[in-house]
Structure formats: C-alpha cells, structure tokens
Amino acid sequence: MREMPDSPKFALVTFVVYAVVLYNVNSVFWKFVFIGYVVFRLLRTDFGRRALATLPRDFAGLKLLISVKSTIRGLFKKDRPIHEIFLNQVKQHPNKVAIIEIESGRQLTYQELNALANQYANLYVSEGYKMGDVVALFMENSIDFFAIWLGLSKIGVVSAFINSNLKLEPLAHSINVSKCKSCITNINLLPMFKAAREKNLISDEIHVFLAGTQVDGRHRSLQQDLHLFSEDEPPVIDGLNFRSVLCYIYTSGTTGNPKPAVIKHFRYFWIAMGAGKAFGINKSDVVYITMPMYHSAAGIMGIGSLIAFGSTAVIRKKFSASNFWKDCVKYNVTATQYIGEICRYLLAANPCPEEKQHNVRLMWGNGLRGQIWKEFVGRFGIKKIGELYGSTEGNSNIVNVDNHVGACGFMPIYPHIGSLYPVRLIKVDRATGELERDKNGLCVPCVPGETGEMVGVIKEKDILLKFEGYVSEGDTAKKIYRDVFKHGDKVFASGDILHWDDLGYLYFVDRCGDTFRWKGENVSTTEVEGILQPVMDVEDATVYGVTVGKMEGRAGMAGIVVKDGTDVEKFIADITSRLTENLASYAIPVFIRLCKEVDRTGTFKLKKTDLQKQGYDLVACKGDPIYYWSAAEKSYKPLTDKMQQDIDTGVYDRI
C-alpha cells in the first residue's frame, strides 16, 4: 500500500476529509472499520505517529486552557477587585488556618488575616492615602508582607514589591521609579535603606515605616499603631475593579536596573489560578513557601493559592536545605515550590529521615533539569513535578501538563497553529541576538526540531493577550517586536531561547540579550558593568554569564582590561569593595578575568561571545589571570588548575 505523503498539511487535510466521510457513514460497524483504517494510515507517516502520540497531552492542555479562560472571563463579568475574591474564602472557612510564619511561630486564621489586612488599610486611609498612590514594600518573607499589600489593595493603593537583596543605586532606583509616597521595611533591611538615603539616592520626601515588632526609636512602627484601627472592611472605593493596578513586581532587563512590571488584579488572579489548576492545587493543600515573596513565583503562585483556592500557606523567611524536609513533615506540607537551584541543593544535602516521611505530593516551579529530574523524584518520592515557564510581565505562559521529563511546556505540532496558539518561537542569530527575517522583512517562525526565542502574540482586543508592560513606556517599547508574522502585528519578546522538539515539547535553553540567570535571579550585565566601568584603573569591562559544571543557570563573569602599571592586588581589593557595596549577592561576578590581549568588535567593545565560550577555562583563557569568588570569605582568590577542577566537578560549590 502506498504511504501517505509525510506532510503535516497533507495529513491534516486528509484527516478532515476522512472525518467528513465518517460523519456520513450510518453503520456503527463500518464507522469502527473506517476509524481503524484512518488510524492505520496516519500511523504510516512520521507526522501522523507524532500527532497521535501527543493527542492526549494536547487535549489535556486544551481542557485546561478552556477552564482557566472560562473562570477568568466569568470574573471579568463580575468585575470585582481581588480582595473581594479573597473575602469569598474568608466567608467559606473563617476559622481555618490561613498562614503560618515559621520563625516566629505566628499563625492566623482566614478571619484573623483579613482583619489584619483591614487594620493596615484603615491605618493608611487615616494617613490620607488614596487610590493610585504607591507604597514600596522593602521587606523579607512574612505574614505582614502579604497582609499589607492585601490591605492596601482594598483602598486602591498600589504596592511596589522591592527585592530585599538590593543595595545603594539599584535599591534607590527601584524605590524612586515606583513614585511611591512611602516605604515599609523592617529592622533587618533598614540599614540598606539608610545607606542609600545617606548618599542622597533616595529622597527625604519618601516616608519610612517599620513593619514588625522591632523598632529603632527613630522610625514609626506600624505594628505599634495597628491596635488603634478597626478590623472592619474599609470604605468601598469607587472605580476599584478587576482591571485596576494591584502591584508592581520588578524584573531585571537590559537597561541596567530593575524594571517595575504592572500587575493588575485580574493578572494576579489569572497567574495564581492558572498555575494552581494546571497542577491540581486545592483548598486542602498546605503550601510551603521558601522563595522570596517579592517575586511572582512565591508572591503570586505561592501565596496566591490562599486567594484562588483557600489553601494554607507556611512561610519561611529564606530557603534552608537542612530544614526543608523537617518543615514539610512538621507542618504536613502537601505542595511546595522550587527553582532549579533548590532541587540541586536538596540533592546535595545529606539524607535525612524526613525526606521519606513527608506528604509532599507536588512540587511546582521552573528550572528542574532533565539530567536530575528522575533522581530528584526517585530520592524524595515526589508524585508530581509541575514544571512551567513564564515571565512576570509576559502575556503568554506554558506548562508541562503531563510530567514529561525536562520539558517546561509544549506547543501542538499541527500546522497553522499561530492563529489559535498565542505562543510561538522565532529564529534568532545566537551570536548577535538579532532576529532572522525573510525577504519580506518578517520573522522566521521555528518548526518542531528547531530552537528560537519565545514570543507571545499581542492582541489589543483580547485583554488576556495584551501586554500591560512596565511603569516606564520606554521599557515597555523595548519588549515589543513588530512586523513578526505579518506586517503591523506585535509580539512580546521574552528574551529566552527555547527548543521545540519533534513531539512539541519545549525546553529552556538560555537567555539572550544582556541578562543571565543565577541563583534563581535575573542578573543585568549592564548593571554590573556600570559598577566596574567607572573604576579609574579599568580601561574596559564586559560582563557575561558562563556555565559552571552541573550548577543551574549561568555564573557571572567579568572580562576586564586594566591600565598598564595597575597594582593588581590593590585593584582586586578595590573592586571587591565596590561590588559588595553596590550589588546583591547573586549579582556579584563569580569570576574575574584580567584580559591582556583581547579581540574587539568594530565599535571597540570586547567580544563578549568569544569570552563567554572560553569561560573560566585557564587553558582557553591563554594565561590571563582569573579570580573566583569565595562566598564564605567574601573575597576573590586566584583560580588554580586544582580549584578549576573542583569547581567543574562540584567538589567546591561555595561560589
């Protein structure tokens, strides 16, 4: 029998023809015969075999998409702000434990949590705050972090979630760009805020409030005043609805400083509810949160499970590998989040009895490498891994709905999916980062088996596919590609490179442009370069990410050309001080290379791609002195052959 041509288009057309014929066959017997014949013919083609193999996954994805969109569109019709959705959970189970804070032992029921949020709301009403005002939250993980922004949302005040690792200029920029009237911080982070203000980087007009019970005698403590304010709901605010701005969550981009992405009420709920539905989060779950709540992972998908599903949240201030499984057993945790680094730290930790005694059925997040996926699941007995991919500000996200090892999501392999599926991959020149375009000036879409940048189709008439962007219109414009699939269209540029395999699964490959990911955080190369380049002894400097053994993400590396006659020992000490004072710990370059002979571009810049390929390999770097960062000693040490081997093999990982 002659085989069908192995063409997706031909197979699809043929399938439609067969479906029409099948519809007109009256006999049940001949219907089954005909179905068997169609399946047999499709299985004789490579595309047919792949299409049939992925059909269950694609239907599961379609079912999820319909469910999520149906829920969110129903809420658009009601047009209620997110705190009113939370009130539904309060009414359903007022006396259920909503949230637990591990370090303090404090826990609140849903009714108590809502009362606390109301007190914060009423306090700020008394201070004259109104809808549209902004308050910066420079805080660590805590019950109050959630209660404060939830309370502020009830009066239409926008919360700016500030990264608690930031210092000096990046910290000041994040606070200033939000145009906030005040900043709430705690006693542990107050020194970083004061250091930035002492350098006149933060205006004296921005008031400072302290959250928590500890005070310094000079700044107002919200905790001390709370008892003066009512636990009743604050007055209803006219114009506050599902489309209102809820908060700003910051992302690292190519401009050198964190950028506040605009998160509206509907988007917050959409992310929390969508991820929860994808992986089966429900009201009986106890969700363990160890990741920073200023990010969307914990700040939306983690704590958002209280709003979307009525679950219980257990909060630890910072991730601890030694306490992770002990906490899970103690608090009867059933679901928790991860990034790739967390999985690696847990695998590297010594075995403990609790890692087999816990009731965790789900871990969801991003960055679990395929190479350690099975080992991780096998050792810790996790029934379901919920790998996903998405950006805080992006208009399209993907999820791995069928536990496929290593994949962060999928796209159906059927032809002409563009008009139906908002996520696409387009070809990019990996060396230059430039988009590949055809003779008509349009981008070149990827097909299964190829690698490209993920983009999300922007449709202004579909609020779920709009790109809300950032506070700065200039930053928003930089994340939009135009004339992509047809002239006049627009897409959101993710800045991430993914691979699309023959079965339609998507795998994260790398970041493109001027950012890289390290220790779960996006690092802006231009931000780090901005710290190095003003140093008097630096002739030129470029920063890039390099792979390190089996570690997740890319470690920062700086290629520096110093002026002749520079005292290298003093220079290393000077830049160490400069980097540690100005940068978060994850942004400090792990390696410093002092370049003697360097290749430059036509505009006299160091060739970053060549430096990136050579990495910290002493042989490839042709004798250039290389220094590695010792996190324990907070200093740079000369890299030796032995230390390079230890870093490569993972024997030494304190970087």
Residue 4: predicted pLDDT: 43
pLDDT interval class at 285 (50, 70, 90): very high
Residue 22: predicted pLDDT: 55
Mean pLDDT of 562-583: 90
Residue 3: predicted pLDDT: 44
Q: What is the CA radius of gyration of the chain?
A: 26
Q: Which residue has the higher pLDDT, 215 or 469?
A: 469
Q: Which of 40-54, 178-192, 362-376, 557-571 has the lowest mean pLDDT?
A: 40-54
Q: Which of 46-55, 489-498, 622-631 has the lowest mean pLDDT?
A: 46-55
The DSSP string of 507-540 is EEEEE-SSEEEETTEEEEHHHHHHHHTTSTTEEE
Contact 451, 254 (CB under 8 A): no
- Token pair belonging to 96: 């259920």
Residue 253: predicted pLDDT: 47
Residue 245: predicted pLDDT: 96
pLDDT interval class at 200 (50, 70, 90): confident
Closest CA relative to residue 375, chosen from 422, 343, 409, 331: 343
Q: Which of 25-39, 210-224, 278-292 has the lowest mean pLDDT?
A: 25-39
Mean pLDDT of 489-506: 90
Mean pLDDT of 186-191: 92
Q: Which residue has the higher pLDDT, 609 or 529?
A: 529
> Cα angle at 495 between 173 and 516, to 5 degrees?
65
Instruction: State the number of CA atoms in the 13 A half-sphere of 603 facing the CB.
Output: 2
pLDDT interval class at 604 (50, 70, 90): very low
Q: Which of 179-188, 385-394, 399-408 has the lowest mean pLDDT?
A: 385-394
- Pick the most confident of 254-258, 499-503, 529-533: 499-503
- Mean pLDDT (the chain, rounded): 87
Counting Cβ atoms within 10 Å, is residue 485 exposed (0-12), middle (13-18) or buried (19+)? middle
Pairwise CA distance, residues 389 & 408, whole Å? 6
Q: Which of 12-26, 379-393, 519-533 has the lowest mean pLDDT?
A: 12-26
Scanning the structure block, which residue is given the tokens 């922007």?
458
**Residue 75: pLDDT above 90?**
yes
Residue 24: predicted pLDDT: 62
Beta strands 505-511 and 409-410, pairing class:
antiparallel
Closest CA relative to residue 213, chosen from 227, 193, 231, 202: 227
Scanning the structure block, which residue is given the tokens 């980097």?
579
Q: What is the pLDDT of residues 28-52, one digit of tens each?
A: 665 566 566 666 666 667 777 777 7
Mean pLDDT of 2-8: 47
Mean pLDDT of 263-278: 94
pLDDT interval class at 598 (50, 70, 90): low
Residue 258: predicted pLDDT: 82
**Residue 18: pLDDT above 70?**
no
Residue 28: predicted pLDDT: 63
Residue 309: predicted pLDDT: 97
Q: Which of 137-141, 470-474, 575-579 has the lowest mean pLDDT?
A: 470-474
Closest CA relative to residue 532, chosen from 579, 568, 588: 579
Residue 38: predicted pLDDT: 63
**Residue 120: pLDDT above 90?**
yes
Q: Which of 211-215, 223-227, 459-463 has the lowest mean pLDDT?
A: 211-215
Residue 397: predicted pLDDT: 86
pTM for this predicted structure: 0.80
| CA dist list (Å): 457 to 52, 396, 448, 460 | 27, 8, 19, 10
Pairwise CA distance, residues 606 & 104, whole Å? 50
Share of the chain above pLDDT 70, in %: 88
Mean pLDDT of 621-644: 93
Q: Which of 222-231, 238-247, 527-536 has the lowest mean pLDDT?
A: 527-536
Q: Which residue has the higher pLDDT, 82 or 549?
A: 82
Residue 495: predicted pLDDT: 84
Residue 191: predicted pLDDT: 92
Residue 606: predicted pLDDT: 63
Residue 72: predicted pLDDT: 92
Counting Cβ atoms within 10 Å, is residue 64 exposed (0-12), middle (13-18) or buried (19+)? middle
Mean pLDDT of 618-637: 92
Helix axis angle for 321-330 and 340-348, nearest 10°, is: 90
